A and B are shown apart, each in its own frame.
Chain A
Amino acid sequence: MTTQPVTGAVPSADSVESQLLAHLEERTRTVVAPEQDLFATGVVSSLFAMELVVHLESTYDVSIVGSDLKQDNFRSVRRMTELVLRLRAGDA
């Protein structure tokens, strides 16, 4: 991972969202919109799903387990941003 883990203050929604958009564009080589359904084509592999989970965990210093570990939370960049902010707020 190239991004340093974010520790301390809760990051802003805008910064998380733009970072995630950049990451996904690099990873999928396509332009991604914040509310775009990433799972629409049904081809998101288990490997890609795991990469997303691990990316969020390592970049934002959160741990995603149990009931948070569901596809709905990863369906779009906006949903992932909400998840990160919720988990970070829970920490604080």
Chain B
Amino acid sequence: MTDGPALVKCLVWDLDNTLWQGTLLEDGEIRLPDAVRATLATLDSRGILNSIASKNDHDHAWARLEELGVAEYFVCPAIGWGPKSDSVRTVAKTLDFALGAIAFVDDQPAERAEVTFHLPEVRCYTAEEVISLVDRPEFDPGTVTSDARGRREMYQARFRREAEQAAFTGPTEEFLRSLELWMRIQRASGDDLSRVHELTLRTSQMNATGVPYADAELRALLDDPRHEVLVTSMGDRFGSHGAVGVTLLAKSERVWHLKLLATSCRVVSFGAGTVILNWLTDEAARAGVHLIADFRRTARNRMMDIAYRFAGFDEQDCACRATLPPAAAEPAVERLHLVPTPRPAPELVALTAPGLAGAGPVSADAYGRG
């Protein structure tokens, strides 16, 4: 799959004579072919977003999409009278996608040419090509994770959340409180791993080591009683953010070694990294072990450095350091150390998490005796 063309992450549709047959303002009557409806549904189920760039009256066109029962498929539609290149650019910007991840379909050669002229990275398709789009490799992500299937709803939730935040004039903390944030930390299953792998690739700012773990590497650790592979998901009353964090922990008698901590930038302003570190610190305090975290400085992860320091990790020497296998020299990995103390539960985030200390996990025992 990596050798194929770059995947399309969002398809931007023209409406008249592309999505539907007919011209809304002239014909009044328009028809949505079943094959087009099926294309929308298939792309949506693969986690590819659908949007709109149409020259029409917004309210009129949107009402018609609702009647046809397909309005819910579309995110950030651009329906108006401006140039389509502007509409496509706006969609890409709103979604924070590179233009190379955007495709545009329109029956009018002049509209495709206008988009291509201003945005050469955007891939353009004709209306005749619509029904075969799903067979093209650039529209086929291969494995589809549960997060990918729910991607459109996540974006829709995000837009509602952002609109509410923009309208909220009270204190920032009151807004966070109003979100009814929740976080769930779980031991990863095999199904979670493709999401985890994706996360380690994409989380450059909040990745403690900048090392993307390979799927197979993490899979092997799932069954290793000395390791905990933890997946964090987060959400609020608007909906779920899906999987937003991965933690890899090697447990031994005296020290828990945090080999990887990465959280998505989508949730960094909700305190995700802070809550996870707080929870780990509290669990380690219960288990009576020290914590050592691997940190490798990259050009982009200073935020992670600050998160560790603010959580109390430092360079302090300790006998527990000698019990770990030597750190990689190249690239240089720093090991930050913490003597954990009990921490209160987070105030603004409802947290559910497994107990890592004590009798629950077999792992601590297995390593201690082994």
Binding site for B on A (CB under 8 A): 27-30, 41-50, 53, 66-67, 69-71, 74
24 A–B pairs (Cβ distance < 8 Å), ordered by A:
A29-B170, A29-B171, A30-B171, A41-B173, A41-B348, A42-B274, A42-B346, A43-B271, A44-B310, A45-B268, A45-B270, A45-B271, A46-B268, A46-B273, A46-B307, A47-B303, A49-B303, A50-B302, A50-B306, A53-B306, A69-B306, A69-B309, A70-B310, A71-B309
Residue ID in chain B nearest A29 by CB atoms: B171
Kindly state whether residue B344 has any CB partner on chain A within 8 Å: yes
Residue interface mask B297-334, A partner, CB < 8 A = 1? 00000111111011110110000000000000000000
Chain B residue numbers with a CB within 8 Å of A47 are: 268-269, 303
Determine chain B's interface SS by DSSP, over half rule: helix
Chain B CB within 10 Å, residue with most, of A29, A43, A44, A66: A43
Known: A69-B305, A69-B309, A71-B312. A42 touches B273 (CB 8 A): no
Chain B residue numbers with a CB within 8 Å of A74 are: 310
Known: A41-B173, A69-B309. A50 touches B303 (CB 8 A): yes
Chain A residue numbers with a CB within 8 Å of B305 are: 69
Shortest C-beta distance, B337 to chain A (Å), equals 13
Known: A27-B172, A67-B314, A71-B309. A42 touches B303 (CB 8 A): no
Residue ID in chain B nearest A43 by CB atoms: B348
Complex Cα distance, B73 from A86, in Å, reads 57
Residue interface mask B83-103, A partner, CB < 8 A = 1? 000000000000000000000
Complex Cα distance, B269 from A42, in Å, reads 13
Question: Are B273 and A71 touching (Cβ within 8 A)?
Answer: no
Complex Cα distance, B303 from A74, in Å, reads 15
Chain B residue numbers with a CB within 8 Å of A41 are: 173, 347-348
Complex Cα distance, B348 from A43, in Å, reads 7
Chain A residue numbers with a CB within 8 Å of B273 are: 45-46
Chain A residue numbers with a CB within 8 Å of B209 are: none
Residues of B100-130 whose CB lies within 8 A of A: none
Can you name 16 extra interface pairs (CB under 8 A) apart from A49-B303, A50-B302?
Answer: A27-B172, A30-B173, A41-B173, A42-B274, A42-B346, A43-B176, A43-B274, A45-B271, A45-B272, A46-B303, A46-B307, A66-B315, A69-B306, A70-B309, A70-B312, A71-B311
Chain B residue numbers with a CB within 8 Å of A29 are: 169-172
Tally of contact residues, B, Cβ under 8 A: 32
Kindly state whether residue B206 has any CB partner on chain A within 8 Å: yes
Complex Cα distance, B349 from A49, in Å, reads 18
Chain A residue numbers with a CB within 8 Å of B170 are: 29
Chain B residue numbers with a CB within 8 Å of A28 are: 171-173
Chain A residue numbers with a CB within 8 Å of B344 are: 42
Known: A41-B348, A69-B305, A74-B310. A46 touches B206 (CB 8 A): yes
Chain A residue numbers with a CB within 8 Å of B269 are: 45, 47-48
Shortest C-beta distance, B119 to chain A (Å), equals 31
Complex Cα distance, B221 from A29, in Å, reads 45
Residue interface mask B327-355, A partner, CB < 8 A = 1? 00000000000000000101111000000
Question: Are B348 and A71 touching (Cβ within 8 A)?
Answer: no
User: Residue A42 contacts which of B169, B307, B315, B347 (CB distance < 8 angstroms)?
Assistant: B347
Residues of B140-199 whose CB lies within 8 A of A: 169-173, 176
Chain A residue numbers with a CB within 8 Å of B347 are: 41-43
Shortest C-beta distance, A12 to chain B (Å), equals 27
Complex Cα distance, B304 from A53, in Å, reads 12
Kindly state whether residue B278 has any CB partner on chain A within 8 Å: yes
Question: Are A44 and B274 touching (Cβ within 8 A)?
Answer: yes
Chain A CB within 10 Å, residue with most, of B173, B303, B306: B306
Residue ID in chain B nearest A40 by CB atoms: B347
Complex Cα distance, B269 from A28, in Å, reads 12
Complex Cα distance, B171 from A28, in Å, reads 6
Chain B residue numbers with a CB within 8 Å of A70 are: 309-310, 312, 314
Complex Cα distance, B177 from A30, in Å, reads 14
Shortest C-beta distance, B340 to chain A (Å), equals 15
Question: Are A46 and B309 touching (Cβ within 8 A)?
Answer: no
The 5 closest A-B pairs by CB, nearest first: A45-B271, A46-B307, A71-B310, A30-B171, A69-B309
